[in-house]
Amino acid sequence: MLKDFKYTRELKVGLLAAVCLFLLFFGFNFLKGVNIFSSTYSFHGCFTHANGLEEQAAVYIRGYKVGQVDRIRYDFTQDSAFLIDISIHRDIDLPEGTEMVLIQDGMLGGGAIELRLPVGTGAPALASGATLPTAIEPGLMDRVQNELLAKVGTAVDNVDSLVGVVNGQLADNHLYNTLANVDAVSRDLTSVSADAKRVMKQDVPTVIRGAKRSIDGLQASIHDVNRFTRQLDSVDLPATVARVESAVDTVTAAVGQVGGLVADIRSENGTLGSLIYSRTLYNDLDSTVVSADSLLRDLKANPKRYVHFSLFDCSGSKKKKK
């Protein structure tokens, strides 16, 4: 009886130890991310750099975790020194042309594997244990570092150029001349500022007053125009136009009469034309003027002859002296 109890206790201890070992194995693999109850496919890839990749790192397809890195083997005598073994869930079929890309897992995290499937469908599935083509994608920090180093190098070159230019300016006293020119410009600006203040205090108010007077005059002119417009509205334009037309007709008639008079003067058959163009009248007038001139000369030469005859009246009797 005691012997059977001894065996029973040893069996319990053995079973408890087996359970503890299984739980330890399961817990260790669970902490490593390995699901011992699911079957997986295994694939391989060769890389020149590990870039911080470690075993049990995640394997992604379009950002979704489908497996993990099982093992990393290395042979530094080869160019592709790292052989990476991965496992993915068996329910995922990888078509031919799938690429294994080493990426950075997070901004400050380690490496990870991303499986990039080819575009399109219809390619046959890869068998477990196949070796996939590989690529390395630089992480965010690597890109920032490369761009920063390039910009730092450019900035250093620019600083060197600037230092060279400054040294050349100092050697040729160009900088001192430039400072002197800046000082002169500053003095000129001070003078211009004083002139501007004077203009603002003196000339601008005068201009404003002149503009105000011009505006007042313009307003008065507008007022006069408005008043003239109102007066023009009150004028009887048809009657005025009729009177103007009557005056024009009168003037036209007068002009016609004057034209007739001028034509009569120019015509030899008219009264005035006969007086103007008649040669006989001209000769008679000329003869009369000559006779009058002879008479005046004879009167001056023989005044007694004409006085003697004036002593007699019209009947021929001699006037009596008083």
Q: Residue 145 is part of which domain span?
A: 140-172
- For residue 314, the number of C-alpha atoms closer than 13 Å in the C-beta half-sphere is 0
Give all strands of the β-sheet with 40-47 in edge-to-edge order.
Answer: 40-47, 82-89, 64-74, 58-61, 111-116, 99-104, 134-136
| pLDDT at residue 268, rounded to an integer | 64
Torsion of CA 168, 169, 172, 173, to 10 degrees: -150
Per-residue confidence (pLDDT) for residue 314, from 0 to 100: 45
User: Do 42 and 56 lie in a common domain?
Assistant: yes
Closest CA to 94 of 69, 72, 125: 125
Residue at 295 is within a domain: no
Whether residues 82 and 123 fall in one domain: yes
Residues 43 and 87 in one domain: yes
Q: Is 95 exposed, middle or buried (0-12, 13-18, 19+ CB in 10 A)?
A: middle
Helix or strand holding residue 203 (H, E) = none
42 and 31 share a domain?
no
User: Considering only 7-16, 41-50, 89-98, 306-315, which range has the smallest mean pLDDT?
Assistant: 306-315
The answer as to whether 293 is a domain residue is no
| Lowest pLDDT segment from 212-221, 248-257, 309-318 | 309-318
**Beta 111-116 vs 99-104: how paired, if at all?**
antiparallel
Q: Which of 176, 91, 92, 98 is nearest to 130 (CA)?
A: 98
Q: What is the pLDDT of residues 244-269, one digit of tens each?
A: 788 888 878 877 777 777 676 666 66
Residues 214 and 270 in one domain: no
Pick from 79, 80, 81, 54: which is nearest to 69 by CA? 54
Residues 190 and 252 in one domain: no
Question: Is 299 within the bounds of a domain?
Answer: no
How far apart CA 28 and CA 42 sit, in angstroms, is 21
Q: pLDDT tens digits for 12-63?
A: 778 888 888 877 766 766 665 555 555 788 999 999 988 888 888 999 999 8
Q: What digits encode the pLDDT tens for the residues 146-167? A: 777 778 778 878 877 877 776 7
Q: Is residue 298 part of a domain?
A: no
Residue 84 lies inside a defined structural domain of this protein: yes
| Structure tokens belonging to residue 23 | 């739980």
**Separation of alpha carbons 89 and 170, rounded Å:** 72
In a domain, 155, yes or no: yes
How many domains does the chain divide into? Answer: 5
Cβ-based burial of 113 (10 A; exposed 0-12, middle 13-18, buried ≥19): buried
